[in-house]
A and B are shown apart, each in its own frame.
Chain A
Amino acid sequence: MTDVQLQVENVAVNVAVGDTARALLKNINLSVKPGEFVTVLGANGAGKSTLFNAITGDVPVAGGRITLAGHDITDEQPERRARLIARVFQDPKMGTAPRMTVAENLLLASRRGKRLSLGSRQLNARLAEFKTLAAQTGNGLDQALNKPTEELSGGQRQALSLLMATMTQPELLLLDEHTAALDPHTSKAIMTLTQAIVSRENLTCLMITHQLEDALAYGNRMIVLKDGQIAFDYDAEAKAKLTRADLLEYFG
């Protein structure tokens, strides 16, 4: 057993702007323990989403190594990494197939990263299980199993995305401002659900947020990105002492 779940070593990401290369991530090093819930803060352009994209393989890294749960994933295709990594996007529309039903979406997510076969999808056998799963969201998702997801509210969709991301207990959960597009009330409900699932499944989790209250209230570690580097890294103890005023300084 290793005590490191995610290891990001000297990871650099560059983009070409015209004829010059611009560094989005400058040799980042980050080591996350199993079960750690890390909130990720930083101004726009600090490299938060780029860090996520590097981990999921959606942007190529210019150098460095990424290891997750003992697998070197640096050169793996994004589709291949999906067996280990689940991501919830900011836009509730990104995480679900709109014309497929809630149950069909859950069924697909239950086979995350597995090879699909020409065998029957066997949806009916799992409806009871999906109903129980959906009931924990407390927003009526369990009553909408046979509805296309395009008919759901933003909150229901995001709750579904969260269930889909966590139902196979991924090695790493990436939350990419996943409550930013929701109203304050719904946002709080989704955060409560997130906390409940992450604790229960003991998931290793990185969460980007612009809500300073959320960044303080959730998680047991916080990192602050600035200009493509990790500017601050607070463990649970140091994080507990932080105030909103401290954080505002970084963005001032």
Chain B
Amino acid sequence: MISLGVSAIGQGLLYGLLGVGLFLTFRILDFPDMTVEGTFPLGAAVAVSAISHGISPLIATLLAMLAGMAAGALTGFLTTTGKVPILLAGILVMTGLYSVNLRIMGAANVSLLNKANLFNAPFLKNLPPYFDSVVVGLIVAVIVVALLILFLNTQIGQGFIASGDNPTMARSLGINPAHQQILGLVVGNGLVGIAGALIAQNNGYADVNMGIGVIVIGLAAIIIGEVLFGELTLSQRLVATVLGSILYRFVLLLVLALGFSANDLQLLSAIILAIAIMVPTMEHKLRIRRVLRNGVQHND
């Protein structure tokens, strides 16, 4: 039971990167980036293939990040220069990546059995089971979140936030929102590429279908973090997203413990996300109704 919890924390931290990557586009720039459903397995495919070819796991993970960034840049190019609507641009790249991922792996599923990976690094050897994913996840999450907080507080970071908040205003100040959109897609998908690489190494295999539904997992992390912690600064919300991702894993554990099959997970994920999105709106409506009811009585 405890090991299940530890595993959930580890997986939550690793998937947290996916949430943080999506946060840049979904919450700061204000659009859902479907590319991630292709870049997540792309990161996995690149990392697993690179490791199979004898490349060190660390370099393989960085290659996965670069591949993710390239995919993000492609979506960015399609939507800014090509004027393809952002949702469709993401879907196009995601669909194309399915074939690319098959080419990279040479099969639908590639195992990492008996190969070196980040989770069997020497310093993780003496840990109890599943703690390796917690340690690796924590290290990566801390580094990534810290770098992003630093970035958001730079001049470019502020321009990035502004162009998501009000593109007209950003343009009138000389900031090109199209450039910021590409930046968000490149960095966001780079992080999702890392997430895919880490999850594949942790699971011991890459599968061409492992991207299905990951946008829902990432968005669920963001929204659970928001529902849980309420009003936060942008920097705090990045941390809340990682915590939301961990909590999401526990919700899934609970659901499985209730007797649902693993095959039901996608449906359950979608339902959990839908509920998490609806809760704040319904809460708001209820509060207004309460205020209106009380207000009339007290006012003369």
Contact = CB atoms under 8 A, between A and B. Distances in A.
Interface in A61-110: 77-80, 82-83, 86-87, 89, 93-100, 104-105, 107-109
Contacts of B154: 116-121
A118 B153 contact: no
B194 to A, nearest CB: 21
Contacts of A77: 176
A121 B155 contact: yes
Contacts of A121: 153-155, 157-158
State the main secondary structure of chain B at its contact with A. helix
Contacts of B169: 94-97
A154 interface: no
Contacts of A114: 174
Contacts of A80: 174
A97 B174 contact: no
Contacts of B166: 93-94, 96-98
Contacts of B124: none
Interface string B68-81: 00000000000000
Nearest to A104: B158
A118 B173 contact: no
Given A79-B175, A80-B174, A107-B158, 19 more contacts: A82-B172, A82-B174, A83-B174, A94-B168, A95-B172, A97-B166, A98-B165, A98-B166, A99-B161, A99-B165, A100-B158, A104-B158, A108-B175, A114-B174, A116-B155, A119-B154, A120-B153, A121-B153, A164-B173
Nearest to A164: B173
B153 A79 contact: no
B50 interface: no
Interface of A: 56, 77-80, 82-83, 86-87, 89, 93-100, 104-105, 107-109, 111-114, 116-121, 164
Given A83-B174, A99-B165, A108-B173, A116 B159 contact: yes
Interface string B86-98: 0000000000000
A77 B177 CA distance: 13
Interface in B174-211: 174-176
20 contacts: A77-B176, A78-B171, A78-B172, A80-B174, A82-B174, A87-B172, A96-B169, A97-B170, A99-B161, A108-B162, A108-B173, A108-B175, A109-B173, A113-B174, A116-B159, A117-B154, A117-B156, A118-B156, A120-B154, A121-B153
Contact of A97 (B151, B156, B161, B176): B161
A100 B153 CA distance: 12
Contact of B158 (A89, A108, A112): A108
B172 A111 contact: no
A102 B170 CA distance: 15
Contacts of B165: 97-100
A176 to B, nearest CB: 11
A114 B158 CA distance: 13
A87 to B, nearest CB: 6
Interface residues of B, number: 21
A97 B175 CA distance: 13
Nearest to A89: B168
A163 to B, nearest CB: 13
A105 B165 CA distance: 11
A99 B174 CA distance: 19
5 tightest A-B contacts by CB?
A: A82-B174, A97-B165, A116-B155, A113-B174, A97-B162
B156 A108 contact: no
Nearest to A118: B154
Contacts of B176: 77, 79
B29 to A, nearest CB: 12
Contacts of B174: 79-80, 82-83, 112-114
Specify which of A79, A82, A94 lies most central, judged by the most chain B CB atoms within 10 Å of its CB.
Answer: A79
A3 B223 CA distance: 58
B126 to A, nearest CB: 39
Nearest to B28: A99
A105 B172 CA distance: 12
Nearest to A150: B165
Interface in B121-167: 151, 153-159, 161-162, 165-166
Specify which of B154, B155, B168 lies most central, judged by the most chain A CB atoms within 10 Å of its CB.
Answer: B155
A131 B87 CA distance: 42
A171 to B, nearest CB: 13
Contacts of A97: 161-162, 165-166, 169-170
A249 to B, nearest CB: 35
B155 A119 contact: yes
Contacts of B157: 121
B152 to A, nearest CB: 9
